[in-house]
């Protein structure tokens, strides 16, 4: 394409974080330091890296991060007890349970235990429902990142045909809802979808959330389409065959440096939002 745009997630994230730094300073002056609690269960190396990155990102903008690392043998009850304590702890504003948890744990029950006002990653069914209705405070962070990138680059969503590949509760489903709420016509695809390539070829906006490296092929992309790659596979590889898809796309996110950094900045933003809401409550009491 002649006028091709690389959608630079690092740039979007930098701007979000700059505005958060000011908000964090102002909160601190009023006696509140926004704090994100991260819970990691077990020793999965990638999960440990993600949690560390999130904690470091908090500290860089003056927030606190409370890292809770539980042994891989932790039971559902033990995890629920930990979450309950964090729910009651007034110095914690957001809770992030790193997915996936070890197999013996009922992950859904653990997500549901997070108090809605601290569910800054939109993992509870109430948070998801609110996102679907379009009035939730805290949508899932990767879908929020995708919408933020489109908005940052003034890419129109209304009236466009968006094809989302993937329907997970944290990514494909909520981003489909958020695009629908912004008046896109949305097709959500999954592992049982037939003629996937033909459906993607109709898309003005393609969101890849499959979890398979280089899955989306160059000849599936309509000329001029916008491509957002949420995938993050081993070796820093996205779900989109970037070089091939770039040829037809008018705008595309790279991996790394696309959706990933914006996702982290959305997590920080939503935790700061939560801290500001607690301050408002204190002031009105």
User: Cβ closer to ligand NAP: 106 or 276?
Assistant: 106
Residue whose beta carbon is closest to ligand NAP: 168
Nearest approach, Cβ of 210 to ligand NAP (angstroms)?
Answer: 4
- Catalytic annotation present for 247: no
User: Cβ closer to ligand NAP: 191 or 284?
Assistant: 191
Q: Which of 8, 119, 121, 239 is catalytic?
A: 121
- Catalytic annotation present for 130: no
- Residues forming contacts to ligand NAP in the complex (CB under 6 A) are 142, 165-168, 170-172, 189-193, 196, 209-211, 230-233, 239, 259-260, 263
Nearest approach, Cβ of 46 to ligand NAP (angstroms)?
Answer: 9
Nearest approach, Cβ of 184 to ligand NAP (angstroms)?
Answer: 19
User: Cβ closer to ligand NAP: 239 or 241?
Assistant: 239
DSSP per-residue codes, the chain: --S-EE--HHHHHHHHHHHHHHHHHHHHHTT---EEEEEEES--HHHHHHHHHHHHHHHHTT-EEEEEEE-TT--HHHHHHHHHHHHH-TT--EEEEPSPPPTTS-HHHHHHTS-GGG-TT--SHHHHHHHHHT--S---HHHHHHHHHHHHTT---TT-EEEEE---TTTHHHHHHHHHHTT-EEEEE-TT-SSHHHHHTT-SEEEE----TT-B-GGGSPTT-EEEE---BTTTB-SB-HHHHHTT-SEE--SSSSHHHHHHHHHHHHHHHHHHHHHHHHHH-
- Catalytic annotation present for 173: no
User: Cβ closer to ligand NAP: 9 or 42?
Assistant: 9
Which residues carry out catalysis? 54, 98, 121
């Amino acid at each position: 394409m002649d006028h091709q745009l690389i959608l630079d997630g690092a740039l979007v994230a930098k701007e979000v974080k700059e505005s958060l730094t000011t908000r964090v300073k102002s909160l601190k002056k009023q006696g509140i330091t926004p704090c994100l609690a991260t819970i990691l269960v077990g020793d999965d190396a990638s999960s440990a890296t993600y949690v560390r990155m999130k904690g470091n990102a908090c500290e860089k903008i003056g927030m606190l991060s409370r890292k809770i690392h539980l042994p891989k043998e932790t039971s559902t009850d033990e995890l629920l007890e930990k979450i309950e304590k964090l729910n009651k702890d007034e110095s914690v504003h957001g809770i992030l349970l790193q997915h996936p948890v070890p197999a013996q744990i009922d992950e859904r029950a653990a997500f549901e235990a997070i108090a809605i006002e601290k569910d800054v990653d939109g993992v509870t069914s109430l948070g998801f429902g609110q996102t679907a209705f379009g009035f939730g405070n805290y949508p899932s962070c990767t879908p929020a990142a995708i919408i933020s990138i489109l908005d940052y680059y003034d890419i129109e969503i209304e009236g466009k045909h968006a094809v989302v590949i993937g329907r997970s509760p944290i990514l494909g489903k909520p981003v489909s809802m958020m695009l629908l709420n912004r008046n896109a016509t949305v097709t959500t695809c999954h592992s049982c979808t037939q003629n996937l390539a033909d459906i993607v070829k109709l898309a003005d906006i393609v969101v890849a959330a499959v979890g398979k490296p280089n899955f989306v092929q160059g000849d599936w992309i309509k000329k001029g389409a916008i491509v957002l790659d949420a995938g993050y596979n081993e070796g820093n590889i996205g779900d989109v065959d970037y070089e091939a898809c770039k040829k037809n796309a008018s705008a595309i996110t790279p991996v790394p440096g696309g959706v990933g950094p914006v996702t982290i900045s959305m997590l920080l933003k939503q935790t700061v939002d939560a801290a500001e809401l607690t301050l408002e409550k204190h002031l009105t009491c």
